[in-house]
Amino acid sequence: MITKKEIKAEKMSLKFPKLKAANCIVAFLSSALQAFGMYNIHALSGVTEGGVLGATLLFDHWFGLSPAVSSFVLNIACYALGWKTLGKSFIAYSAIAACGYSASYAVCELFPPLWPEIASLPLLASVAGALFIGVGAGLCVRAGGATTGDDALAMSLSHLTKIPIQWIYLTSDLIVLGLSLTYIPVRRIGYSLLTVILSGQLIGLIQRIRLRPEPKRAA
C-alpha cells in the first residue's frame, strides 16, 4: 500500500504522481481476477453483496432509486474520500483497476459461464466467489488502488482509524447485510455473510504478507 510519506509528498506537489509499473500491472490483473469471479460465480449464484453494491440494492428496494444512479453517487463519494486521504496515486491506480475490471468483464461476457451448475450450489459459490474477490481485491489494495467504492472507503477508513482493513470491510458489509434482511430471506443472507467474511479476511491477510524481509538492526 501507499506509505504515509508518499501520501504527504503527493499532497504538497502539484505534479502528477510517478506510478510504479509493477503496481499498475497488479492493479489491472487483480481487477481482471475479480471480474472473472463476478461473472462466472456471483452473477449466477444470486448471493447478494455488502458494501456499496448491497447499498444500491437497498435503495432500489426501499425508494425505487435505480442502482445506476445510487452506485454512481456512492462510488464518487468514496473515491473523493480516497483522493483526500490517500493522494493522487491512489486515484491513478484506481482508474487502472476500474478500466481493467470493465474491460475484463466485457471479455467474459463474450463467452458462456464456465460452470453454470454452480448456481445450484450456493455454499460452493460463496466460498469460490470469496476466493476470487478476496484475492483480487487484496492484490489491488496492496498495489495502492481500488476497483470499487467499497475498497476506496475501506482503505480510507483504515488509514484514518488505524483499524485493520479486514475489520472495516466486515463492519460495512454486516451493516448492509443486516438491513438487507428487510427484503432478502435469512438463508440467502447466510451465504452472503460467509462470502464477505472470507473475502474480507483474505484481503487483510494479503496486506500483512511481507514480500521482503526486514533488515536486521545492528546490535
| Extents of the domains making up the chain | 43-208
Confidence of residue 219 (pLDDT cuts 50, 70, 90): very low
If you average pLDDT over residues 187-216, what whole number do you get?
80
Per-residue pLDDT at 19 exceeds 60: yes
pLDDT of residue 26: 94
According to the per-residue pLDDT averaged within each range, which of 15-19, 113-117, 145-149, 210-214 is highest?
113-117
- On whether the CB atoms of residues 192 and 50 are closer than 8 A, the answer is yes
Confidence of residue 118 (pLDDT cuts 50, 70, 90): confident
Confidence of residue 136 (pLDDT cuts 50, 70, 90): very high
If one compares 127 and 61, the residue with the highest pLDDT of the two is 127
**Whether this model's pTM surpasses 0.75:** yes
Tell me the DSSP string of the chain: ---HHHHHHHHH--SPPPPPHHHHHHHHHHHHHHHHHIIIIIHHH-----HHHHHHHHHHHHH---HHHHHHHHHHHHHHHHHHHH-HHHHHHHHHHHHHHHHHHHHHTTS--S-GGGGG-HHHHHHHHHHHHHHHHHHHHHHT--SSHHHHHHHHHHHHH---HHHHHHHHHHHHHHHHTTTS-HHHHHHHHHHHHHHHHHHHHHHH--SSPPPPPP-
